Amino acid sequence: MKIAVFIDQDSLCLFYPTEEALKEHSVIEIVERDIPEGCPYWFVDESEIPTDRTFRDAWEIPEEWGAPDGYGSQYNTFEELDNAKN
């Protein structure tokens, strides 16, 4: 499963879109709505996330992930996202 990893206030966060949401919206729409404005995010395979969460506060984005895939938007609803694109 693809998940989004993002950085908010110097904390690394994991974002798992629900199957229900994915039935109605693209993963891009979901992360743009739900990830805070300006927060960089990367799409990664869940297998790339360490399973040992003991030192989760020390996790960092690996260099091989490259530049962010995007940034959280200022929009809080799917309607706002749709209106901004039109």
pLDDT in tens, 49-75: 888 888 888 888 889 999 999 998 888
Structural domain tally of the chain?
1
Residue 86 has pLDDT above 80, yes or no: no
- The residue written with tokens 């040992």 in the block is 52
Domain of 64, in residue numbers = 2-85
Whole-prediction pTM value?
Answer: 0.82
What is the DSSP secondary structure assignment for residue 56, as one 8-state letter?
G
Please state, in angstroms and rounded to a whole number, the distance separating the CA atoms of residues 20 and 32: 17
